[in-house]
Structure 1
Amino acid sequence: MDLYSQKRRWKLLLLIFALSIGAISLVYTNYLVSMMAESERRNAELWAFSTKLKSEVDDEHFLDFLTDVQNKYAQIPAILADSEDKILAYKELDSTKTNNPNDKSRTYDPLYFREQLEVMKDQHPPINIKIATGEQLFVYYKDSQLLTSLKYYPYRQLSGITVFLILAYLAFSSSRRSEQNQVWVGMAKETAHQLGTPISSIMAWIEILKEKYGHKDAELLDEMENDVMRLEIIAERFSKIGSAPVLEKHNVKEVVRNFINYLEKRITKKIKFEVNGDSIEAELSVPLFEWVIENLCKNAVNAIGTNEGKISLNVSQNKTHVYIDVTDTGTGIPKSKFETVFQPGYTTRKRGWGLGLSLTRRIVENYHKGQVFVKDSELGKGTTFRVILNAGKKVA
């Protein structure tokens, strides 16, 4: 399993673990809510029963006892109403308001009590009581503030935890990317520095060989010199990592053609190259842009493998953008992997690092302010990658 797949699997496992904790929290909280709801229903029934008893007895001490029971043990918001919804009594509602127009000590607000009655009707079925006179009364009640808070607590808690985890993940990812960038830039610049001395030395040896054997092996020495020049370009590429490159106007098709002329001599003859399209200018860092084309072409070569195939590069434009399409006749990419192939560490090769396409996207998007993506792919038939750059002008 490649590094990217391992990371994705661990992320999935952590997500499942977090969801499991959330689900357990919700289930347990709902259990507590149901237990408290049953308790409040019993309190409402207690208030209803004691109200019924108060209408049937005349003993003053017993009436005081029933009132004390209602005040101490039936502490839930409730309303006693008749069959026509006339409010006869209420408890645990706003103590500053009253439904009695004769009560001058509090604010008379019948609308408030009507609204509370409707809320109670929506929340719970009423408790019916029949008093001594034969009249049918109804006790309505609603959830206490504690029960209401408990119902929504796990959702608020999970929302807070989710926001915290997202912020922590973003901060950690940003910090990790910053560290990775520093390591990457440091290694790249050190590599460029280390390559400098042997490249200069090899160039000197080639000049000596030209003086001694140039008339016999001129073509061979020229190709050796081309390879050393390519090493110089590679060293220059690494030296530019981490710093903003200088972009200059270049003929995109010419840059692509020059690189293909170098590459096609160094891979299997079973693969044919084709460069088509218009001569168009765009602002490029040629060493870095050649790296993009190199990575896309090498990816195409690996997709074709040991079979015969073709790699086509087509340059086109509209009013605002230049398009470079790299099409191969390789194995193709599943649609589900169109984005995954650009992730660091993702590779289908046994000895691959999975950095080529990730680096390609970095160069195009960060340094050239463009885009690169899988335009189209079909398993067994091939793939087209598209690079989009800001357009210059068409070259005559």
Structure 2
Amino acid sequence: MSAYRTSTKLKLGLILAAVAIGVASLAFTQRLADRLEAQDEQAVELWARAIEFQFQVSAQAAGPGPEVWDGIAEAVRAADLAPSRRDSLLAAVDTLRDGPPSDGLDFVFSEIVEPDRFSIPAVITDTAMTAASLWRNVPDDADFLRLAREMDDVHEPIRIEGAGFGEQLVHYGESPLARMIRLFPYVQLGVVALFVFVGYLGFSYVRRSEQSSLWVGMAKEAAHQLGTPLSSMIGWVELLRLGDAADPEMIADELEADVDRLRRVADRFEKIGSVPALVPTPVRPVLDAVADYIRRRVPTSGPPVAIDVDVPDWLTARLNVELFEWVIENLLKNALDAMEGVPGPHEITLTGTELSGEVVLLVRDTGKGMDRATARHVFRPGFSTKRRGWGLGLSLARRIIDEYHAGQITVDTSAPGEGTTFKIVLDAADVGELDPEPAVV
């Protein structure tokens, strides 16, 4: 159930992260678009005033012709005036004949009106919007009046004085850059949504793959756990059929031991699907029982293997004995597998102590060891370095320690050719909490 809750939280986290990214992106790009829009408005305002200046200068240039100014100059010369006064009046007439200075108009045309100093679409019409007199960044064959009305939905038109042309309206829309910035967050949201969707599919695939591996591994583990006592029971039954060739009392004891083993296996699988009770328990007897069970199953054909338990008798932890035995059994079996093909003799050592209210157990072996990449994946369901392994033993061990015992199991040290050490950390229990008649392990 915890795994499914974690999966749901991860999916919800992906969705919330995508929403947060989208909201932040929308807010940021909206701010950028607003600032760009303000700059565009200033650019259009400058362009409109330049056009207005052009109109005004053109109206001033269309004054009296040269012959009029020549007549006025002759009149000034013929008048009875002081020489200084006459000279100043003639200079004024010459200035008016030549028209206003052209530098400002040249600047307006060369720097503002003529070149594309901005990419904002704009149309200039009369106030009645019956005709367009000028446009910029708009196709020449466009419906200018329709465009002007659409632009007015975006921005308020700018009024300029057209001098002899009457009052004019400058209509303008958004620049291509502003439109791109406003569309960008939606494109980004689409990309984020795509990544979240792909991540969701990938996560679901990995989860289904792990579940499949887990179910297959559980089935194989169950068959393996049940196979050993069943095979033994079949052998004892065959001995019974031989009659007087075997001691019935001894066979009964062995059958009882195998039946007890089957019961313990059933209890282990039953407790995997429920929340087991944790009881203050001495650690040493549990480790001794599992070590004795594994010693009887060490292959005699290979190098000798010694299994030593170096744990103080007073060391006590909160345990579910059946499940904790399963963890130690898996660690010892993995240690034996790691020693295959490695020259011996070999040693498996179980040590333990108490540190800051926690029981710390170390399981060391002298097997082939692992590199860092392998050590990072040994607890993943379905991962196995053995040719016929199903990758469930250590995954179950982590689940039992981490979820059921609120502890921690890790690869403490490992290196190729130097063996491996697994570390288990559990909550320590006070000796005073022990049951006065502890259950027999």
Q: What TM-score, normalized by structure 2, do the two folds share?
A: 0.52
Q: 1:239: which partner in 2?
A: 270
Deviations 1:143-202 (Å, cap 9, x if unpaired)?
A: 6431212444432322233344445666x379849976995799699979x98x969976
Say if 2:193 is the partner of 1:160: yes
Judged with a 3 Å threshold, the aligned counterparts in structure 2 of structure 1 residues 337 and 275 are, in CA distance, closer, same or farther, namely: same
Q: Distance in 1 between the 2:234 and 2:285 partners?
A: 28
What residue in structure 2 maps to residue 375 of structure 1? 412
Give 2:386's aligned residue. Answer: 349
1:300 Cα deviation after fit = 0.8
Change (3 A) 1:222 1:324: farther
Task: Look up the match of 1:79.
Answer: none
**Aligned-partner SS, 1:388:** strand
Please tell me whether residue 248 in structure 1 is matched to residue 284 in structure 2.
no
Kindly provide the CA deviation profile for residues 9-58 of structure 1, in whole angstroms up to 9, marking residues without a partner as x: xxxxxxxxxxxxxxxxxxxxxxxxxxxxxxxx9xx99x969959768756
Q: Is the 8 A contact 2:347 2:366 kept in 1?
A: yes
Task: Quote the offset at 1:241 in angstroms.
Answer: 2.8
Q: Is the 8 A contact 1:191 1:238 kept in 2?
A: no
Q: 1:211 to 1:284 in 2, by over 3 A?
A: farther
In structure 2, the residue corresponding to 1:148 is in which secondary structure? helix
Matched, 1:277 2:338: no
Rounded Cα–Cα distance in structure 2 between residues aligned with 1:319 and 1:272 = 31
In 2, Cα distance between equivalents of 1:204 and 1:266: 18
SS in 1 for 2:323: helix
**Which SS does the other structure have where 1:369 is aligned?**
coil
Counterpart CA distance in 2 for 1:296 and 1:363 is: 13
Cα distance change on mapping 1:55 and 1:352 into 2, 3 Å: farther
1:196-211 correspondence runs (5 A)? 205=237
Preserved CA contact (<8 Å) 2:367 2:418? yes
Give 1:259 shift. Answer: 1.0
1:73-128 deviations in Å (ceiling 9; x for gaps) = 69xxxxxxxxxxxxxxxx999639x999xxxxxxxxxxxxxxxxxxxxxxxxxxxx
Is the 1:292–1:360 contact (alpha carbons within 8 Å) kept by the matching residues of 2?
Answer: yes
State the alpha-carbon separation in 2 of the partners of residues 354 and 265 from structure 1. 24
Q: Tell me by how many angstroms 1:389 deviates.
A: 1.4
Whole-angstrom distance in 2 between the partners of 1:199 and 1:157: 60
Contact preservation (8 Å) 1:273, 1:312 = yes
Indicate the structure (1 or 2) with the bigger Cα radius of gyration: 2
Q: CA deviation at 1:227?
A: 4.6
- Alpha-carbon deviation of 1:317? 1.6
Q: How far is the alpha carbon of 1:334 from its aligned partner?
A: 1.1
Change (3 A) 1:319 1:327: same
Report the Cα offset of residue 142 of structure 1. 7.0
Is 1:386 aligned with 2:386? no
Spell out the pairing of 1:1-396 with structure 2 (5 A cutoff): 51=51, 67-70=133-136, 72=138, 95=156, 144-166=177-199, 172=204, 176=208, 205=237, 212=244, 218=250, 226-269=257-300, 270-279=304-313, 280-307=315-342, 308=344, 309-393=346-430
- Offset, 1:223: 5.9
Inter-CA distance 73–53: structure 2 relative to 1 (3 Å threshold)? farther
Provide the C-alpha distance between the structure 1 equivalents of 2:389 and 2:332, rounded to a whole number of angstroms.
15
Structure 1 residue 355 displacement after superposition: 1.2
1: distance between equivalents of 2:377 and 2:218? Answer: 26
Deviations 1:196-233 (A, max 9, x none): x9699769949968995665995x88666545533332
Mapped partners of 1:198, 1:381: distance in 2: 37
Amino acid paired to 1:298: K
Structure 2: distance between partners of 1:237 and 1:292: 11
Classify 1:210/1:327 alpha carbon distance in 2 versus 1 (closer, same or farther; 3 Å).
farther
1:339 aligns to what SS in structure 2? Answer: helix
- Matched position secondary structure for 1:315: strand
Letter of the 1:276 counterpart: D
SS of 2:135 mapped into structure 1: helix
Deviation for aligned residue 1:252 = 1.2
**Gaps spanning 5+ residues in structure 1: where?**
1-40, 75-90, 101-140
- Equivalent residues of 2:280, 2:430 under 8 A apart: no
3-state DSSP of counterpart to 2:384: coil
Per-residue deviation, 1:391:
1.1
Note closer, same or farther for the CA distance 1:216–1:92 as it changes in structure 2 (3 Å cut). closer
Identity rate of aligned residues, in percent? 29
State the distance in 1 between where 2:283 and 2:412 align. 19
Partner of 1:111: none
Classify 1:201/1:274 alpha carbon distance in 2 versus 1 (closer, same or farther; 3 Å).
closer
Residue 114 of structure 2 corresponds to: none
Find the aligned partners of 1:322 and 1:209 in 2 and give their Cα distance.
49
Q: Please tell me the residue identity of whatever aligns with 2:279.
A: E
Q: Give the root-mean-square deviation of aligned CA atoms.
A: 5.1
Give the 3 Å change call, closer, same or farther, for CA 283–201 of structure 1 in structure 2. same
Q: State the alpha-carbon separation in 2 of the partners of residues 326 and 314 from structure 1.
A: 7
User: Is 1:375–1:385's contact at 8 Å kept on the other side of the alignment?
Assistant: yes
